[in-house]
Structures are given as structure tokens and as C-alpha cells.
Structure 1
Amino acid sequence: MKFPRFLKPTLLIIMLLVSVTSCVSRQDLVYFENLPEAGTLEGVSRNSLEIKPNDLLTISVSAPEQEAALPFNLPVIGVPQNGAELGLTVNGRQQMQTYLVNSDGSIEFPVLGTVEVAGLNRQQLSAKLKEEISEYVQDPIVNVRIVNFQVSVLGEVNRPGTFDVRDEYLSLPKALGLAGDLSIYGRRDNVLVIREEDGKKTYTYLDLTDASMIDSPYYYLQQNDVVYVEPNSAQRQSSSYNRNASVYISIASVLVSLAVLIAR
């Protein structure tokens, strides 16, 4: 079948676009590309979250003689109907009050007074309080929880947002899973993680297609980390296109079809 001479450039352009869009490298899409067929990943050990200034904590103290432990607990308060306050809900109506870690890394604890908590993890703070409370209460049990563990996942993911984390450990892949994974337009080789440490912002870029990313100290996220997935080149280029481009393409295809019929 012969095509009119004026249609040949148009057909050549269409074939070129099809060939370009159909060639997508596996390395651009697959996570942990260079993993061996079998083995064990020896990534960074999971360190417990460290308590930081402005963290919110719930601390409960119990003992075989519960009345002796009562002075070491904050009063339970009612929960607003909208349930907006952070804390541990009790029977759906009441919740434990939270301790706000001061800028100097301390909290005001009943009976004990000022207690330094910054830099400790949950287990360390629990052991510290247990030792001090043991001077007043026999065999105390101290339960500590960080209730403001949140991460934000932004950019080219299917469900961007800020997510509350109840677990003490959250890996980057799991955080992306909470956000519905990357969209097809997200760069998998350059994911940004922003963190605040000692009052300063730190950041790094991680390559999800490289299995060695598990060695990064940013692989396990901390409270208030921000994860940003930037758009790939195709998405950046498409943002500069005219929003009516699809309409123009449809009109052009109709005109081409008409030209073919007339040429016959």
C-alpha cells in the first residue's frame, strides 16, 4: 500500500513516538535490582527511636499495689468528640495525658520532678523511671510510648499525606507502601528523605532500585521525617505541554484520515 508523499513524515513521527515510549528499562522500574538470587540482607540494625524535644509521650506506671502507683500517673482526661487530641484512648471516652518534651530535653514527672529524657529510647527511659520510682513503690511497671511518630510522604506517590505510625520501626519501603507506592511517573532512583537532627535539617537521596540502600541510616525512618518522590523526566516534560494537546491530536488524526480518503 502506497501512502501519499505528504503523509510519510507524519507516519514516521508516529512510529518514532511508539518506539520511544515502548522502550522502558527494567532497571528504571524494579526495586532492589541487584539482589542475589538468594541470601540474607545485612542492612543497618534497627535502632529504637530516640526521644527528641517536642515529642509527645504517654507514660503509665502500675504496681502490684496499684494505689501506691497512682501518684506517678497523670489524671485521665476526657476525649473531645472529634478525637483530635493525641494519646491512648481508654474505653473510647477517656485518654491518658501526654508529656511534652521541653526544648531542653526534659519532662516534668509527678513526684520525681524534672526528668531528662532526650536521647533515650523507650526502653531506656522505662528503666530509668523504674529505678527512681522503686524508691517509693515496690516492683513498679513503667510503660512508655512515643505518640507523635509521624512521617510525611509527598510527590509522585498514589496517596501522598502524613501518616501516624503505631509501630516503633518504619522502613522507607513500608512508608511508601502507606502512600500507595510510587506512581509510574515517580523517580525510583532518587528518593529524598529529609530529617531534623539536633535542630538542623539533614537529608539524603536513596536509590530504591539498588539493594545497598538498606545500608543507609535513613532506611529506617524517624519521627517527622519527610519523604519526597520527584517526578521522572517524562512527567516533567508533560507538565510543559498544552493541556489541550490531546484535543489538537484528535483533530489532527481526523484531518489525516480525511486526507487519506480524499487522496483515494
Structure 2
Amino acid sequence: MPEKPSTMPPVFRFAPSPNGYLHLGHALSALLNDDMAKTARGRLLLRIEDIDITRCRPEYEQAIHEDLRWLGIDYERPVRRQSEHTDAYRAALERLKAMDLVYPAFMSRGEVKRFVADQEASGKPWPRDPDGALLYPPDDRKLSRAEAEARIADGDQHVWRLDMAKALATANSELSFIETGPAHAGTLTLDPAIWGDVMLWRWDAPSSYHLSVVVDDALQGVTHVVRGLDLFAATPVHRLLQTLLGLPAPIYHHHRLIVGEDGRKLSKSQGDTALTALRAAGLSPLDIRRRLGLG
């Protein structure tokens, strides 16, 4: 069951990745976190999720601070940067290894696509996760420890994945969570198995989003996670990891997404409605709030 609310001041966090300029969707998330923290007389943290070293850049991180300052959002210091705390994520991974709940996975994306294509060509439909990605095939999960260790010793590129079936059997509990967002309010129980064997550690980046976010939220004492609806489906995976690692469950609030004129979610990579551009065009913070329907 979800953790009972704490008597300590509630803790909210805004956790962007510096892989592009913030847009209106990020502004909505940041402003909601700030508004809700103030209403609850709580604390607001900023966390820079910069573990993807191939995409994150210092200029984007600096722009995050500038945009938040322009919006009138203050947050506690020091700011947590994920790139400075990889030891904490590795320690969590090692705990899961000791519980025999993760395994090294060696198939590349291309190999997974070819495997699935062969399966579907023979009339066997292959499952996808909620984001539409192919679930990882079971072959590597069947490797013996000796075989896996030998491949690692030979330098075979690999990631670490959660053995979902083993993890669910080990958790052996109802993975419910409290949701206060308008789309799905209530005490909810969702099945993380729809994600298959999720990746927890990448060869090209320390940790993955799923692992680092639950570790960070616990270490920072976050009690309320306010984020977009695009992450709602990932919540049962996070609840599973929290249960396995003995971490508390925050209250979740998934807010509406801001979409463009074509109906798609705004994207950093395309520079959609970047706050830097809107500011340069003469819009004020109040204009942003009105445009987001926040009054």
C-alpha cells in the first residue's frame, strides 16, 4: 500500500533534463509544482536530470535557471544534478543484482527488431509497451550466469534489465498509489508487466530514468510528484522499484499535456514554444500563466 502522508512539510520537485530549451509544457509543470507547494506550505526542489551525457548540454541547464527565474519560481539550493550522484544509482542496481532480479541484456535495437520481425512473419504478434516500443525478447534472460559473465568479460556491449516476472513475485504486494491528477484521481493499482523487462542501466549512460527517479525522490524526501500525463503509465514500474528497494511511495499528480496545433505533444528537439523564444517575443510571465489557463 502507499505510504501514509508524513507530518513533515510536503516536498515537491521540478525535474527537467537539460537536453533542450524548456517549452510551455515544462512551464505548466514548473508552475503547478510551485503553486501546489505554496498552497501546501511545502518545499520546492529543482533537480537536473542530466544522466544522458550524449544529449545534455551546459547551455540548456543554464537556460533552465534563467527561465524559472523569469517565471518567478524559486527553489531550494543546492540543486541536485544526477550526474553527480551516479554512485547512488549503482548501489540500487547492485541491491537488485544481489536479489537476482536483473540480468545483462546484449541484443541491440536492430537485433530486437529483426527478432520481432521474424516472429511476426510467422504469425506471432509481438507485444509493445505503452510507449509503443517492442518488449525485449526472453533469450538473454535464459542465459546462465556463467554464459552472461563470459560475454561481459569478452567486452560484449550490454545493458541491465529488470526481470519483471521475478520482480513481481518478489514484491508480492499490491502496487497501488495515490493519484490526485484530474484524469485518474483515486487510489490506483496498475500492472507494471505491460512494460516487460524494463532497462535499468544503459551502457552509454549511468542508470536509466526509471531507476534514478525513484532513488532521487527517496533520497530527497519528495512527497508529491507532479508531472505530465505522458509519465502516468510509468508509475507502476516506479512503485515496483520502490517496493523492491524499500523506498517510500510519494503521492502522484499527473497533469494535462500541452499540445501543438497539430495535436502532438510539445518537443524540446523541435523547439516548440520555447520559453526563451516567447520571452524574446515580448511575452510576460503573466502571459504564460494565462496561456496555460492558470490565471
TM-score (norm 2): 0.28
More strand by share: 1
Greater RCO, CA 8 A, separation 6+: 2
TM-score (norm 1): 0.31
More helix by share: 2
